[in-house]
Amino acid sequence: MKKKIDVILLIILVSYFMTLLDNSIVFTGSLKIAEDLHLSEVALTWVSNAYTLTYAGFLLLGGKLGDNFGRKRIYQIGLIIFALGSLLTGLSTNADLIIGARAFQGIGSAILAPTTLALLMDNYQGKARIKAIGAYGTTAGIGASLGLVIGGLFASLLTWLDGFYLNVPISILLFVLSVFYLKESKANKNDEKLDIVGAFLSVLSLSFLVFALVGHFYSFTFALGALILLVGFVIYEGKIKSPMMPLHLFNDRGRVGAFLVLFSFFGAMLTMWYLVPQILQLELGFTPLQAGLGFFPLTLVNFVVALFVAPLTHKYGNARLLLAGLLITALGLLYLSSFTKSEGYWLGIGLPMLILGLGQGLCFSPMTVAGIERVNANEAGIGSGLVNMIRTTGGALVMSFVISQTQKHAQVGQITHFGLAIFLTFGCLIFASIITLIFILPGREHYAFKA
């Protein structure tokens, strides 16, 4: 039985890791992709933006489909879409093809991300669930930084195409394993109808929101449209009997606090992951591979610390561990914000990375636990989709705001904006810590998983 459970966790973690990896490959290999496909700067940004657009837009729908029609079945459909999107991306020969393929791949990821977390909730209970979520949180934590290392390897030693082609055999293997090891976990036995209007409004509103952030024209128009659609979505969901996103998910004080923490934390981290590789290459002369390896201290410490999260949670409680992790991460960002070129890598970047790895390792899992705590079994998919959606939109919104506010302070040949940008992310972590103190910590020192 233990062997079977291990295979289930392997399926879940590898699937989730694949969804995190590809954007890192695009980021580290962007110059080579542009060169091979003769892409303009705008077209190159949309290789990443198209994926983000559909991923964020379809997250809630992906989670709800699993709740309604069976998580194993929807997971397998998502795996097929993701594999086909990866293959089409590798076969692309021009801007239109690769942007379209990446958008298609994003839909697959939007199905995989919430269904994997929902499958985890279905297959693990009690202390085993805490350990499994710890592994899931570790995957989320090291996925982006390790993805930069792997992306650098592909960009420097192989080709960016190989990174996408590799997804195909891995997806086939995961599909075969899912046939034999995953049991269907259809939550809604009464075959309730899918909320078509709610699904349409959620996809459209989130897509408008992401387009307003990453698009190059009509940003205000799309932002206004996103606001109107989101308000309409909330009003509509509150009136129907079987909503796609039950609004009572926001009635829990601790869960709302967790959503705010997830939003702030991933916004800060995405900004850091975006800026540090640029500093390593532009200021310290690192190659893409060296820039990826520059995250190794963070990745290694994160991984080691995450191994002890389950016993630490049992001893000190989820909320206390989360607060400690947030404060340590904030300290690492404060240190990183003082970086100067004269310090070099080890003092200016490497040492803060060690502190960041410690903080992230402590709080990734507790954040996920807080976000899905006490979600009903028949709403695990939409609950998981909501957690992933908040991570994604938080990252995009905070990073867009920080970059727009600090870019204007940069001078040619200087990195003043880097220090200011990282200091703003430090502020995000202080905000998250305050939210944890007010919303999550009171009365929630220990989370008991009885589902």
Same domain? 269 vs 385 = yes
For 153, other C-beta atoms within 10 Å of its C-beta total 18
Q: Is residue 450 part of a domain?
A: no
The pLDDT of residue 189 is above 50: yes
Same domain? 297 vs 425 = yes
The pLDDT of residue 144 is above 90: no
Q: Categorize the per-residue pLDDT at 13 as very low, low, confident or very high, splitting at 50, 70 and 90.
A: very high
pTM of the model: 0.85
Same domain? 271 vs 397 = yes
Same domain? 175 vs 203 = no
Question: Would you state the structure tokens that stand for residue 214, as one six-digit string?
Answer: 């990453």
Q: Is residue 76 part of a domain?
A: yes
How far is residue 235 CA from its own chain's centroid? 27
Same domain? 235 vs 252 = no
Reduce the secondary structure of 142-161 to three states and give it as a string. HHHHHHHHHHHHHHHHCCHH
pLDDT on residue 217: 73
Q: Is residue 256 part of a domain?
A: yes
Same domain? 224 vs 305 = no
How far apart CA 188 and CA 163 sit, in angstroms, is 37
70-123 pLDDT, tens per residue?
999 999 999 999 999 999 999 998 989 999 999 999 999 999 999 999 999 888
How far apart CA 243 and CA 192 sit, in angstroms, is 10
Same domain? 235 vs 368 = no
Domain containing 412 — which CATH number? 1.20.1250.20
Q: Which domain holds residue 212?
A: 195-242
Q: Categorize the per-residue pLDDT at 192 as very low, low, confident or very high, splitting at 50, 70 and 90.
A: low
Same domain? 211 vs 336 = no
Domain count along the chain: 2
Q: Is residue 138 part of a domain?
A: yes
How far apart CA 319 and CA 438 sit, in angstroms, is 11
Same domain? 261 vs 291 = yes
Same domain? 269 vs 390 = yes
DSSP labels, 364-388:
HHHHHHHHHTT--GGGHHHHHHHHH
